[in-house]
Structure 1
């Protein structure tokens, strides 16, 4: 883009807001929050004829990088556009002083690129009324089907999701938010507890615990443990745990406290298994408590991401009620296409 020699600060501000909107689909205030700049501050410094501060401009540019880019793409993108906006800022700054500044032209990749800025990555929440019929034959439990229908989100472009290995997905079933409802939490926990009891039988509270990753659905996991009459362990799998690096948190009774680490088995439960969290939970339980793990129960598993294969590699048997497979993802994407 060729810049007018009289490239004013007001022009720079206006173009910056438009550019951010084109790349992110969001207003400049929303994007600025990702750079720890308040919404009001971002709008105030770009909504008048004063020159936006250079540090704020560059922070907003960095925060606008497409989230689907891998690290190498992110680095190249940020470097390229930071240089370009610094170039524009220096021209606008010189203009504000009544001077004419000659700078090198923009990078050829920015001038001659045949690829326009991508469409904003719209995310829609599907209408439960159109989701329910699609789930009729796929989810046999009525309560789970009803809850699921209210919490399906579809992105136009895949977004990276996950704690250990971030996998790009375009469909997300948000049972975390569903579990914030006491009624939905109870329905989901009852469903999982019934599956555990049918498969395992009576659970010995002195020999069995139920564990869920802190990054998983601990609201449902802790309630399943209560329904099954056993202790619950919460396992932190990412970052540095606050208890001086110890990742396992629990409130166990005297029975299991006396024999913890001696022939104890943990049953891992979660709402949705993607594969990465479960092996990490099992490893931490083994290393820190000497607890073995051979079973995992979940409501859903991401068959489209090969989650079952990941658990087989660590010799953990997955008992999942319903798969999120390529066919179901395609159905949700089709339903969302009419809303985007």
Structure 2
């Protein structure tokens, strides 16, 4: 079966200066972003950041106070939801418990004759790997199977845009990871433009072409998963995505920053602030490096936590007492850390400056 024939070709989507208020609360504050045709973009952020409100405005389930929404060349800002040409998959799946799988998928195909409808349902079931489940009811399916039925229903009308509202949150971790991979592969094969809301950064990293990190109704950074992780644009993004270390510095030159009694060399693209905090990922720190590295300082181990395939080490730099930092090391390195006194290297390329 040719999957690309089962949906319309992906179209770009544009959000221009969209704002939404609920009384005195500003849920969206002049949000703008573009999603390319066939791209999967994740809206990532904590509860209350505005990501679900933005998705609901795009879907027409909420009306924005200002701003414009485009799907392809069409201005859909004031259109009714059913006129916007999208499929949507909710967190709860929203299947009708009294309807069979076949009837649930066919629900959005109003007006189709019986033969066309039956063929389309069969195509959708084959697409999501549930052929043979036509006559079952949602209560007879697992959570993962129900999610696939809901996805098949969203795709059945061949929409130009797919909206996903935390579709994996009700599933356990193992099933979630498996279905994230399946959904991503299906989205790529269909070439359907997709916008997904999630608060789970692992889901966003696994699935997205680009991620819009949202906070307080605004997009703080919109970039690829790797760029957001390696070069966070704001302290919020640095803290929200992954783990991190923060070191206060008092002053800096073009090439160095003064941290306590230490003079740390910085890379040319570290940032522009003359005072503030240095940011560093735990896995970037070298512990007892085999050869001399820059920014090498004595430290003292406080605690080592076993995490399966790696260990998280908490330590203090001798020249910065009372300020706990963490590094991540492989379990094979544990025998080398019998003593509490160690050397750690903070590579200049891993340090980022924030005011």
Higher RCO (CA < 8 A, seq sep 6+): 2
For this structure pair, what is the TM-score category when the shorter chain's length is used for normalisation? Answer: under 0.3
- The structure where strand makes up a greater share of residues is 2
TM-score normalised by L of structure 1: 0.26
- The structure where helix makes up a greater share of residues is 1
TM-score normalised by L of structure 2: 0.25
